[in-house]
């Protein structure tokens, strides 16, 4: 009985992992790591730096909006091509979609506090939420 339970749990785990690909989608070549390195990492760190300093002029507010829109879209890409393995991933991706959109909206009205709060409470929380469960530790 005990051995059966362990076996069933292992099978369930194996089946669960086949549901989503995590490191890569099912049909397209893009590796999650490449997306992180070229999109999430750079857009997020530039956005955080800009909001820390506070955008100086219209051009910089426009740049804030650009980075925020890219991060929001990334939340959709992460759900595409069978990459999503579970609810933690899905919730974090949704949080990235909405958090990026909220920063972009705040940038449209040059609301620095609103942009900072959406960055901290939603965008950065989404990175942390997904990485906590799915990023391979090195
Ligand atoms: C829905 C899941 C998910 C979300 C949300 C997410 N990441 Fe990741 N991230 C991953 C996974 C999975 C890896 C590990 C990929 C691998 O090594 O195969 C990773 C790795 C990374 C890496 C390391 C890339 C490398 O060179 O090895 C960076 C940088 C990164 N993420 C930045 C971010 C930032 C910044 C955010 C938030 C704006 C974010 N990620 C949100 C899943 C996510």
| The pLDDT value given to residue 20 | 77
Ligand 1 pocket residue status of 42, Cβ below 6 Å: no
Ligand 1 pocket residue status of 18, Cβ below 6 Å: no
Q: What's the chain's Rg over C-alpha atoms?
A: 18
Ligand 1 centroid to residue 78 C-alpha, Å: 10
Domain count, the chain: 1
Ligand 1 pocket residue status of 103, Cβ below 6 Å: no
Residue span of the structural domain in which 93 resides: 2-134
pLDDT band at 59 (very low <50, low <70, confident <90, very high): very high
CATH number of the domain residue 53 falls in: 1.20.120
What atom of ligand 1 comes closest to residue 96's alpha carbon?
5
Ligand 1 centroid to residue 69 C-alpha, Å: 17
Q: Residue range 77-95: average pLDDT?
A: 97
Would you say residue 138 has pLDDT above 60?
A: no
Ligand 1 centroid to residue 129 C-alpha, Å: 10
| The pLDDT value given to residue 4 | 52
Q: Which residue has the higher pLDDT, 10 or 89?
A: 89
Would you say residue 43 has pLDDT above 90?
A: yes
Ligand 1 centroid to residue 119 C-alpha, Å: 16
pLDDT tens-digit profile of 88-129? 999 999 999 999 999 999 999 999 999 999 999 999 999 999
pTM of the model: 0.89
C-alpha neighbours within 13 Å on the C-beta side of residue 49: 9
């Amino acid at each position: 009985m005990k051995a059966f339970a362990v076996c069933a749990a292992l099978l369930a785990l194996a089946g669960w992992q086949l549901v989503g690909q995590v490191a890569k989608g099912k049909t397209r070549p893009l590796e999650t790591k490449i997306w992180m390195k070229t999109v999430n990492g750079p857009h997020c760190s530039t956005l955080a730096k800009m909001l820390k300093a506070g955008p100086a002029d219209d051009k910089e507010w426009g740049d804030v909006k650009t980075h925020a829109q890219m991060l929001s879209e990334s939340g959709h890409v992460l759900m595409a091509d069978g990459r999503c393995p579970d609810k933690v991933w899905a919730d974090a991706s949704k949080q990235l979609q909405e958090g990026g959109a909220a920063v972009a909206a705040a940038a449209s009205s040059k609301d620095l506090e609103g942009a900072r709060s959406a960055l901290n409470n939603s965008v950065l929380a989404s990175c942390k939420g997904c990485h906590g469960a799915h990023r391979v530790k090195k």
